[in-house]
Amino acid sequence: MSGGYKVQGIIRENSGRDEKHAVEGLLEKGDMEQLQKRFCRAEDVFALCVDEKGHPVTEWSGEKTEKERIQGCVSAERMDAMFRRVSEEGSLEEQIVEPTEYENVRLAALAVRVSGRVFCCWFILAVFPEQEGAVEHQLTGMKTVTTENRMYRSLELLGTISRKLFSMKLQSMEAEKEWQRDRTSEQEMSESLRRIETFTEIVQFLDSDEGIEAILQEILKLAGSYLEVSSCQIFRKHKQGKYIDLVGEWCNHGIASVFDQTRGMDQPQLLEIEKPLVISSLSECSAADNEYMKRMHLKSLIIMPIRLNDTVSMYASFCQCKAERRWQVDEIRFVNDVVKIMQSIITKRLQKNSLVSSYETLENILDHVGSAIYVKDEETGRFLFGNRILKRTFEKELKDGTLDALLERGASAGRNDGNYEFSHTEKKRWYDLYYTGIRWVDGRKAALYAIYDITDKKIYQRKIEQQAYTDFLTGLYNRMCCERDLAWHIDQAKKDGTEGALLYLDLDDFKHINDGLGHQYGDVLLKAISHSLKRIDGIDNTCYRMGGDEFVIIIPPASFQKFDRIINEIRDIFGRPWFLKDADYYCTMSMGVVNFPTEGDNVQELIKKADIAMYEAKRGGKNRMTQYSDNIASGSNKRLDMEKNMRDATVDGYKEFEVYFQPIVDNRLPDTPCTGAEALIRWNSAELGFISPAEFIPLAEYLGLINPIGNHVLKQACVACRKWNESGRPNYKVNVNLSVVQLLQPDIVEIIEQTIRETGIAPRNLTLEVTESLAINDMDRMKEILGNIKKLGARIALDDFGTGYSSLNHIREMPLDVIKVDQSFVKDLAKDSYSQSFIKMVSELADAIGVNVCVEGIESEEQYKVLKGMKVSLIQGYYFDRPMPQDAFEKKYVQAVEILETV
């Protein structure tokens, strides 16, 4: 075990691994070792941590002698199985505790999930004090011991610490990513500014009186330094023969020229081109070009032809010889613009400084650069030149004479260093402006402005900021933005002596819509609700989605006088149906309300109080609003106790969950004998006593424990029924309710099949009850699921019939064996003609389609007598007997009946 262990069928070694683990760099070995060491030392347990793929992050903790003793205590296969149970996607088990071959030793596995994702898994080995007279074994006499209760508290503490650790690291990484994006944007702007500055310096050589070779040499230096290339050259072609001269060359620091002569050199094939040539590192090129690159020790290369009088007479080359380089589009454009400037300067000198020719050449160059160029006389302010981009972009300003005012207004708001940003309100555009003083072609002093449109960059920056505070699905603000805004509103309310409110909304039974109609329709509903909330005056800019189906609304102090109207409008939104999948569906909400700063001025505390009030609204029946109070807070503590005890009960093998049985009698036989029972769950908590199903079943659904609890009831009921069948009651049947959540499990049919196989119950004696409202919510899906269950041999009962909206056609389509009439029709059965007619109609319908009818809720003899003349097959209710524990049911309806038959 010390070197590695098997997880998911792969042996993963613990040696030679990087300090940072696979989970996005979050799982650092040093952090986990420190946490493990301190935790184990404080809690007196042994621990080992693996990452989300099962790779060991740490070794077993403890002293060397004790580590050697525990390593042989647990098999690799067992750890493999426990790892899969807690870490697989969709698993409802975050932690499991299993006994070992030693009575006082337990092995636990704890998956650490954050935002639904497993980041690591802890294995905990706990050794309890030895009982007096216990058999000695491998771990007898261990110094590191704990108790069972302390072990469970330790698991809870370790899970809380680990989740908090990863949550903090996730937040830190998000902040780091945001910082990197901002830094990249700043680098892009800095690079753009440097390129503009370099190009502006090169443009100034257009009117220089220095020698042509000196000018070209200086331009090569500026361009080469900006591009950070190894060297730059300018070559001139001979008019006769394939020879070239080296006119000018610049080499970067530490780079020596590769040319041993400057005149009459052989012209390589690379310098016979008519169009620009760009060769990046590792790109494909001809054999001749490749040979030249190797001979000149070049990694990458740009060659630009220089045309004089429409003929290629010269070439400019930009070379990289040390590092690999892939040329960027902006770099190639820059080189092209620089070559045009050099071409203009050379042409100007060849044309003997012709002013007209120089101006035309300059105009042609500046008309093709990627920015608006504006030149004016520095002394008089008179317009000298504007390129095509300037005239197209600022046509109105040039016509009205307001361009200077626009630029000066921006300059006054920006930095006084020759570069600043300014906005054009009417055009809704942003610009970056660079300006400098130059000598114009006629020798006068002029101011040159280069104006770049940076609107797209600004929009992108705002988009990034918006994404950080916006929920992607609904467009509402997210939790991060909510906490920021709430803190601001609290401060304002305290400063001004005013009051605001925080509303916490949770959709009722949203999971039924998500599972019944599909997640795409659940998303449609969330977006529709968000759109409706944003349209309410007073909270149009303070609605937030906290995640899932939870929303928070801040009623700011400025809108607090509209509190009642806002609450009523929210209620009206959820009082109307939503059109989804070609039908109307209702979705209500439960809401908790807390005022600030009167009931708190801490952001997290206020959100917690609103959440507590919201849960109280759900517990009170849903579809309602609850104002926070201290009494509710104490009730919340009770809920937390109930939640903790429920989790403990599920970990402890469901011993506290008892299955009661209520007899079902056959109305067709003399003396209405018992023909089976309905299995009903009861929770007898060791800490809290008996708890009503109305209290703990919604909590089990909320905690995601209803499936394992329901599976436990199914198994216990099948075991009991088989016992009855083998005790002389071969025709006794047991009815088991399937909850909405259970029935929508993708593997529900496999679970039922496995239960039948493991318990050995005759499938015909198992009746599974589904509610009418569930069955009609997605008829096609229900028919498929129920049909597959029927193929197993089990029976299907439609429960609570009459409370939903089933059509007779639906009843005929479903593979039913029993229709159970809801007890709401039985309450006034003795004197209500409608109830009598309804049951009679259902009985005749069932008889026509070959289905039995069971009427539940019979509590009096008068109700029972009404049913005698109807075709009611089965009856259930307090008149015959109440739900009772299994041993009481068997004593009365299995053993007693057996004795009577013997007599």
**CA angle, 175 as apex, 171 and 180 as ends, to 5°?**
145
- State whether residue 53 is helix, strand or coil: coil
Q: Which of 389, 385, 438 is nearest to 200 (CA)?
A: 438
Strand-strand pairing, 4-7 and 10-13: antiparallel
| Cβ contact 843:871 at 8 Å | yes
Q: Which two tokens stand for residue 496?
A: 């001004």
CA 317/CA 305 separation, integer angstroms: 9
Q: State phi, psi for 326 to the nearest 5 degrees.
A: -110, 120
- The three-class DSSP label of residue 206 is helix
State the angle between helix axes of 706-726 and 748-759 in degrees (0 to 180), rounded to the nearest 10: 30
- Give the closest residue to 816 by CA, choosing from 799, 802, 798: 798
| The two three-digit tokens of residue 223, written as one number | 């361009």
Closest of 339, 338, 295, 302 to residue 320, by C-alpha: 302
Specify burial of residue 17 (Cβ count, 10 A radius: 0-12, 13-18, 19+): middle
φ, ψ of residue 840 in degrees (nearest 5):
-65, -45
Which residues, 6+ apart, have CB-to-CB distance to 465 below 8 Å?
Answer: none
Active site residue: 856, 859, 861, 890, which one? 856
Token pair for 721:
């029924």
Whether the Cβ atoms of residue 333 and residue 211 lie closer than 8 Å to each other: no
Cα 839 to chain centroid distance, Å, stands at 50
- CA dist., res. 721 & res. 699, Å (int): 28
If one counts every other C-beta atom within 10 angstroms of the C-beta of residue 213, the result is 11
Contacts of 395 (CB under 8 A, 6+ apart): none
The secondary structure of residue 595, as a DSSP letter, is E
Tell me, what amino acid is at 9? G
Where do the H-state alpha helices sit in 121-211? Answer: 148-203
Q: 767's torsion region: left (phi>0), alpha (psi -120 to 50) or beta?
A: beta
Distances (CA, A) of 850 to 118, 578, 775: 51, 38, 19
Residue 856 is a catalytic residue: yes
Considering just the CA atoms, what is the radius of gyration of the chain in Å?
Answer: 41
Torsion on CA atoms 420, 423, 424, 428, rounded to nearest 10 = 140
H or E, element range at 472: none
How many C-beta atoms lie closer than 10 Å to residue 281's C-beta?
A: 15
Q: Tell me which H or E stretch contains 308.
A: strand 300-308
Catalytic residue IDs: 856
